[in-house]
Amino acid sequence: MISFAERMGGIKASDIRQLLAVASKPEIISFAGGLPAPELFPVADIKAAYDAVLDEAGPVALQYGATDGWAPLRKQISERMLKKNNVTIDPAKIILTAGSQQGLDFIGKLFLNPGDVVVLESPSYLGAINAFRQYQPNFVEVPTDENGMIMEELDRILATTENVKFIYIIPDFQNPSGRTWPLERRKQFMEIINKYEIPAIEDNPYGDLRFKGEFLPALKSMDPKELIMYFGTFSKILSPGMRLGWIAASETIIGKVNLIAQAAVLQTATINAMAISKYLDMFDIDAHVAKILPVYKHRCELMINTMRETFPEECKFTDPDGGLFTWCELPEYINTREIAPAALEKKVAFVPGDGFYPSGSVKNCMRLNYSNATDERLVEGVHRLADVIKGAMKA
Amino acid sequence: MISFAERMGGIKASDIRQLLAVASKPEIISFAGGLPAPELFPVADIKAAYDAVLDEAGPVALQYGATDGWAPLRKQISERMLKKNNVTIDPAKIILTAGSQQGLDFIGKLFLNPGDVVVLESPSYLGAINAFRQYQPNFVEVPTDENGMIMEELDRILATTENVKFIYIIPDFQNPSGRTWPLERRKQFMEIINKYEIPAIEDNPYGDLRFKGEFLPALKSMDPKELIMYFGTFSKILSPGMRLGWIAASETIIGKVNLIAQAAVLQTATINAMAISKYLDMFDIDAHVAKILPVYKHRCELMINTMRETFPEECKFTDPDGGLFTWCELPEYINTREIAPAALEKKVAFVPGDGFYPSGSVKNCMRLNYSNATDERLVEGVHRLADVIKGAMKA
């Protein structure tokens, strides 16, 4: 008789993945995904990198490799973290993952017994919530304001909550809210987690995508006790289809993650790690990112301005300094999950906000992505969405 | 305070992965890995496939894609399973994985509560044991003989054991034993699992690598009740570094695996799936496999013949019809883990057999790989190993 594990009761389909399937139809204007603009992928340069790898070291690229991942790439990541994030990290404390999502699964597996507590921002990335849910934790949500996590609330929660295994945060251009923590909050956060000695995942897929405002240091750059597990990825600055991210953390944690990776996947794809390493040797990735930024800045501003013009006054939305998302809060009586079908009928898609709250208790928000649409479709999509929202407003 | 999950108590370093790190030094003759012969990789053809994919559909290849994986490749896999394995399977019942190892992790996660039972051959693949151990099952080992699993024993175990969630088997050129189940055993197995309605993983990474004897049908080709979860991979017939395998199973199981994959990794690498799909379009993979077979046949025979000449009479070893491994049983008083350091001192590596028994109770066996060494190193390595074994023999 076939019977599945108890954990499957908590594993739900990702709204985003389900929506992507529908929203990939060309007639739908989709603000649902978190897809980079594909027309900006450096296709010719990446092809040159694959060609060079296969010409120079084909049999190595196609063979099994080490679980921690292609060593020259880990060294390049270490150098880049120093240059971009002011983080000093030994390459031995870096392990490659098949995208950050895999890192979330590994860290959930490493830390969580059923009933253990994960503390996270309210709202937080639904893909992380789903990854952790596989290990049956309880979630405790920390209230946020326009500057991210409210540190007094975090302190209070850590002082009064048992079995907190780790904290999950996205301090830069958060998914879904688009918000960024100011320096003072970062310092406070590090003080608090040092006081309680609680480790934290600093998930930073969007940090390089700052198109206005000033650089802010990574939490990992203020972490002498090595409590931070820093997650980086090439998905948003180079290509998500190559599935390559990394975790930078203490030797102990990386050693344990290595054991999990051995058991769960053996290793990331040798050829992709070598191709990215070669790309970084042959080309200037920062010059490539510099081409992305003005496009995302423009699209963000166009979306925000069009929302200002068309959305009812009662709607509030964030005005991000970088990243891929804005977050829109509608009047409390509007359940965005309930208006999503009407939006799809008008051929526009968004992600309902409740999935970003483990409790599912906040119903009146939506996440909107601006990186993956042309100007024309962006404006048209916002107009359609405005109509849907107006249709749901009380007179 | 950092504390890890209870499951980490059971997750050990893979002997194979640890040995590979040591054995990758060029002065070591390694029979430890399960590495394909890298000089046979069709590097130029694979390069042509990557080039064609990036030329024709670069932005698609570098972008996110669906969790079940590149649809044209799933269709090609379905067609190949019909042609090679006589298995009729809808592509919708196939999900791509980043190698079969990831599939083992997913199925463990899908089925196993702590204390549930996994039934497997004794010995069985240690990477599978490690993958399942992450979910804290109990293992029940089914005795085997030269024809694989003994079906009367399986029947007895299933009749008397509670909470058996699935059976894990490798009927073709088993890892580690190199043994293959004859047709009659296959039919008996299907009768038994149908009687008890217990699902089974048919792990078939080596099935295409038959270099002598006659084709035998896959269990999946005799499975009207869809109890078999068939695992295939491109690792041994094309390239392990591209990390691409698949699970073919019932709609219910594939749907659940899809949910797990969403939460754990989002998807396999789009570019690698598209490159393999393109390779299958552009080239004849069976013609490529036909080039591998005589080489592996020769290496296998050379290893076996050299062992016959040099190993003490008391040593028994299998004579496989395909695949990558032979399995050597030494006198009972020799613990192969204890002689491994002496072998490494003589610059030859093997995998001690105890890791292939969940109980760890059988100590006098070793797994030897013949696919990854030149003739000269193969002969020299077996001679060195013979010396080490002779040194451990009682006079």
Per residue in A118-135, pLDDT tens? Answer: 999 999 999 999 999 999
Do the chains contact at A47 and B47, CB–CB below 8 Å? no
The kind and range of the H/E element at A110 are helix A100-111
Stretch A275-303: mean pLDDT, rounded? 98
Fold of A57-282: Aspartate Aminotransferase; domain 2 (3.40.640)
What is the spatial distance between Cα B234 and Cα B32, in angstroms, rounded to a whole number?
21
Q: Is A167 helix (H, G, I), strand (E, B) or coil?
A: strand
Q: Who wins on pLDDT, A14 or B276? A: B276
* pTM for this model (two decimals): 0.96
Q: How far is A161 from chain B (nearest CA, A)?
A: 13
CA distances from A196 to A140, A193, A200, B174 (A): 16, 5, 11, 50
The band of A295, judged by pLDDT with boundaries at 50, 70 and 90, is very high
Residues of B in contact with A63 (CB under 8 A): 35-36, 38, 41, 239-241
CA B137 to chain centre: 20
| pLDDT score at A16 | 66
Of B6, B105, B135, nearest to A113 by CB-CB distance is B6
Task: Please provide residue B72's backbone torsions phi and psi, each rounded to the nearest 5 degrees.
Answer: -60, -35
Please state, rounded to an integer, the average pLDDT across all residues of chain A: 95
Per residue in A193-241, pLDDT tens? Answer: 999 999 999 999 999 999 999 999 999 999 999 999 999 999 999 999 9
Class of domain B65-282: alpha beta
Closest-CA residue of chain A to B58:
A43
What is the spatial distance between Cα B319 and Cα B311, in angstroms, rounded to a whole number?
15
The set of residues, in sequence order, having a beta carbon less than 8 Å from that of A31 and lying 6+ positions away, is A348, A349, A350, A367, A368, A369, A370, A373, A381, A385
Pairing of strands B325-329, B316-317: antiparallel
The band of A148, judged by pLDDT with boundaries at 50, 70 and 90, is very high
| pLDDT score at B16 | 66
Q: How far is A246 from chain B (nearest CA, A)?
A: 13
What is the spatial distance between Cα B45 and Cα A120, in angstroms, rounded to a whole number?
47
Residues of B in contact with A61 (CB under 8 A): 241
Q: Given the structure tokens 């000089």, which residue do they identify?
A: B39
* Check: complex ipTM more than 0.90: yes
Stretch A22-43: mean pLDDT, rounded? 90
The band of A13, judged by pLDDT with boundaries at 50, 70 and 90, is confident
Q: Is B127 at the interface with chain A, CB within 8 A?
A: yes
- The residue length of chain A stands at 395
pLDDT at A342 over 70: yes
B257: which 2 tokens?
């695996």
CATH architecture of the domain with range A6-42+287-392: Alpha-Beta Complex (3.90)
Of B102, B267, B270, nearest to A264 by CB-CB distance is B102
Q: How far is B260 from chain A (nearest CA, A)?
A: 7
A46: which 2 tokens?
């990446």
Of B131, B264, B269, nearest to A242 by CB-CB distance is B269
Do the chains contact at A47 and B54, CB–CB below 8 Å? yes
Do the chains contact at A241 and B134, CB–CB below 8 Å? no
Q: Is A37 at the interface with chain B, CB within 8 A?
A: no
Do the chains contact at B131 and A263, CB–CB below 8 Å? yes
In a 13 Å sphere around the CA of B192, the CA atoms on its Cβ side amount to 21
| pLDDT score at A20 | 65
Q: Is B158 at the interface with chain A, CB within 8 A?
A: no
Chosen for mutation from A201, A243, A278, A371 (greatest number of chain B CBs closer than 10 Å) is A243
Please list the residue range(s) of chain A that carry CATH number 3.40.640.10: 57-282
**Contacts across the A-B interface (CB distance below 8 Å):** 242
Closest-CA residue of chain B to A104:
B264
A320: which 2 tokens?
């991000």
Tell me which residue of A26, A65, A36 sits closest to A272, measured CA to CA. A65
Closest-CA residue of chain B to A131:
B263
In a 13 Å sphere around the CA of A79, the CA atoms on its Cβ side amount to 9
Q: Is A372 at the interface with chain B, CB within 8 A?
A: no
pLDDT at A169 over 90: yes
Query: What percent of chain A shows pLDDT beyond 90?
Result: 93
Residues of B in contact with A32 (CB under 8 A): none
Per residue in A73-96, pLDDT tens? Answer: 999 999 999 999 999 999 999 999
B358: which 2 tokens?
């969940």
What is the spatial distance between Cα B355 and Cα A163, in angstroms, rounded to a whole number?
34
Of A5, A65, A133, nearest to B112 by CB-CB distance is A5
DSSP for B302-356, please give it. Answer: HHHHHHHHHS-TT-EE---SBSSEEEEE--TT--HHHHHHHHHHTTEE-EEGGGG
pLDDT at A14 over 90: no
Single-letter amino acid code for the residue at A278: K
Do the chains contact at A105 and B131, CB–CB below 8 Å? no
Closest-CA residue of chain A to B228:
A2
Angle subtended by helix axes A71-85 and A270-282, to nearest 10: 50
Q: Note whether A137 and A112 are within 8 A (CB).
A: yes
Pairing of strands B200-203, B228-233: parallel
Q: Please state, as a whole number, how many other Cβ atoms lie within 10 Å of the Cβ of residue B123.
A: 23
Closest-CA residue of chain A to B56:
A43
Single-letter amino acid code for the residue at B314: E
Please list the residue range(s) of chain B that carry CATH number 3.40.640.10: 65-282
| pLDDT score at B17 | 65
Which residues partner with A30 through β-bridges? A349
Which residues partner with A275 through β-bridges? none
Of A38, A62, A252, nearest to B239 by CB-CB distance is A62
In order along its 395 residues, chain B shows pLDDT tens digits of 788 999 998 887 776 666 666 767 889 999 998 999 999 999 999 999 999 999 999 999 999 999 999 999 999 999 999 999 999 999 999 999 999 999 999 999 999 999 999 999 999 999 999 999 999 999 999 999 999 999 999 999 999 999 999 999 999 999 999 999 999 999 999 999 999 999 999 999 999 999 999 999 999 999 999 999 999 999 999 999 999 999 999 999 999 999 999 999 999 999 999 999 999 999 999 999 999 999 999 999 999 999 999 999 999 999 999 999 999 999 999 999 999 999 999 999 999 999 999 999 999 999 999 999 999 999 999 999 999 999 999 87
What is the spatial distance between Cα A87 and Cα B133, in angstroms, rounded to a whole number?
35
Q: A141-155, A314-328, B22-36, B78-92 — which is least confidently predicted?
A: B22-36
The set of residues, in sequence order, having a beta carbon less than 8 Å from that of A320 and lying 6+ positions away, is A173, A178, A179, A180, A300, A326
Q: Please state, as a whole number, how many other Cβ atoms lie within 10 Å of the Cβ of residue A159.
A: 10
Q: A31-35, A89-93, A321-325 — which is least confidently predicted?
A: A31-35
Please list the residue range(s) of chain A that carry CATH number 3.90.1150.10: 6-42+287-392
